[in-house]
Amino acid sequence: MQISELARRAGVPVATVKYYLREGLLPPGELTGATRARYGEEHLSRLGLVRALLGPGGLSVATARAVLDAVDTPATSVHQALGAAHRALPGVGPDAPADLDQARALLRRQGWQVAEDSPALRALAGALEALRAAGSPPSEELLDRYAEAAGRIGEQDVAAVPTGSLADAVRFVVVNTVLLEPVLLALRRLAQEDASRRRFPGDR
């Protein structure tokens, strides 16, 4: 299809498609003339991914490009590909040099093994440090319950990874890591609202 049809089917202006092409977020089409190119279904699908990452995903163009590079790089293994995708994604919290002891102790209690340089480990340590600085140091029990809930989710996320092709696996991980995070946070707030309504019944 031509760029005008691609734009129409994706529901974006042609100028947006051209912008993504210039920024390297969308691979070029197949040249069919000096100024014409042909685009395929894979371009339409990629357009959906780019818009999801830039819009609701909240990624910058530079970060989206890094994430898409991870999606496009032929990985040698699924586990390696997941690591590359995680590293390309923006962090979930502060990434300051922090005391990793409490975070490591939590992982040990859960029996989780992760890379020493895992960005999420530093993010966890930074978030715990922030809670202490704010005068609300979390108890071991609270952290264990959070970890158990996160563990169930992580287990399910990984069980759902399609193993047919590495490219599909990486795309799935990227989309689900970025776009299910707001789902999880929104659900936590809704659960808090419902629990608060039930706990303080006379109190609306």
- CB count in 10 Å sphere of residue 76: 9
- Rounded to 5 degrees, φ, ψ at 189 are -70, -40
| Rounded Cα distance, 199 and 32, in Å | 66
**Shortest reach from residue 104's CB to a second copy, in Å:** 11
Of 24 and 56, nearer to a second copy (C-beta) is: 56
Helix (H, G, I), strand (E, B) or coil at 180: helix
**Shortest reach from residue 169's CB to a second copy, in Å:** 9
Of 66 and 124, nearer to a second copy (C-beta) is: 124
Angle at 144 between CA 138 and CA 150, to 5 degrees: 110
Of 4 and 45, nearer to a second copy (C-beta) is: 45
Among 8, 101, 112, 140, contact with a second copy (rule: CB under 8 A): 112
Binding mask 167-186 for a second copy (x = CB under 8 A): -----xx-xxx-xxxxxxxx
Of 32 and 56, nearer to a second copy (C-beta) is: 56
Give me the residues paired with residue 30 across strands. Answer: 38
> What is the total count of residues that contact a second copy (CB under 8 A)?
88
Do residues 85 and 170 lie in contact, with contact meaning Cβ atoms separated by under 8 Å?
yes
Subset of 8-47 contacting a second copy (CB under 8 A): 45
Among 16, 73, 93, 100, contact with a second copy (rule: CB under 8 A): 93
* Contacts with 122 (C-beta within 8 Å, 6 or more apart), sequence order: 91, 95, 98, 100
Among 37, 55, 63, 109, contact with a second copy (rule: CB under 8 A): 55
Subset of 130-149 contacting a second copy (CB under 8 A): 130-131, 133-136, 138, 142-143, 145-147, 149
Of 33 and 201, nearer to a second copy (C-beta) is: 201
Question: Is 7 an interacting residue with respect to a second copy (CB under 8 A)?
Answer: no
Q: In one letter, which amino acid is 84? A: A
| Rounded Cα distance, 108 and 7, in Å | 50
